[in-house]
Structure 1
Amino acid sequence: MARCDLCGNDYDKAFKVTLADGSGGTYDSFECAIQALAPTCEHCGCRIIGHGAESDGRFFCCAHCATHAGVEGIDDRA
């Protein structure tokens, strides 16, 4: 069994996530992996699970949050 890096649970179905830069960890659920690895929206603070939006190194969960943070030219629909 392997221990989750986030919650410490020792679980027989734990899995490893390795990012391109070699970082990552071992997790017992996608929930823990998301909490540990997903970026946070600069405006609302939620974890960005999908593609989200990025502008000048700033991450947002959606165009709405990016617009509220002063970013121009990002739309949810083209």
Structure 2
Amino acid sequence: MATCEVCGNDYDMAFEVHTQGAVHVFDSFECAISRMAPVCEHCGCRIVGHGSELDGRWFCCAHCAREAGATRIVDREVTGAVAR
């Protein structure tokens, strides 16, 4: 069994996430998201999908990016695509 690094649950179906040279152990996607998903700089929600990035700033959607003053955003789903 492995212990979730977020909630401390010792669970026989825990899983590992390997990223950027580190290994993280979670017992649920909820815990993984709470630890690893970036936060929208406008509304504060966790970005579970692709999100939008502008100059290293992350937003959950184009609306939040525009509300934060962005006039141009890059959709991470399609490299180089520009939404206005």
Secondary structure of 1:39's partner? coil
Q: Aligned-residue CA RMSD in angstroms? A: 1.8
Partner residue of 1:50? 49
Residues 16-70 of structure 1: CA distance to partner in whole angstroms, max 9, x if unpaired? 0011x11241000000000000000000000000000000000000000000000
Q: Give the aligned partner of residue 60 of structure 1.
A: 59
Give the structure-1-normalised TM-score.
0.91
DSSP-derived class of the 1:65 partner:
helix
Amino acid at match of 1:7: C
Long gaps (5+) in structure 2: 76-82
What does 1:14-33 align with in structure 2 at a 5 Å threshold? Answer: 14-19=14-19, 21-33=20-32
Percent identity of equivalent pairs? 62
Tell me the TM-score normalised to structure 2 length.
Answer: 0.84
Following TM superposition, by how much is the alpha carbon of 1:73 offset from its aligned partner in structure 2, in angstroms?
2.3
The one-letter code sitting in structure 1 at the alignment partner of 2:13 is K
Q: 1:64 is paired with a residue of what secondary structure? A: helix
Residue 71, structure 1, aligned to residue 70, structure 2: yes
Aligned to 1:7: 7
SS of the counterpart of 2:73? coil
Change in CA separation of 1:37 and 1:70 when aligned onto 2, cut-off 3 Å: same
Q: How many residues align?
A: 77
Q: How has the CA–CA distance of structure 1 residues 49 and 3 changed in structure 2, closer, same or farther, with 3 Å as cutoff?
A: same
Which one has a larger percent strand, Structure 1 or Structure 2?
Answer: 2
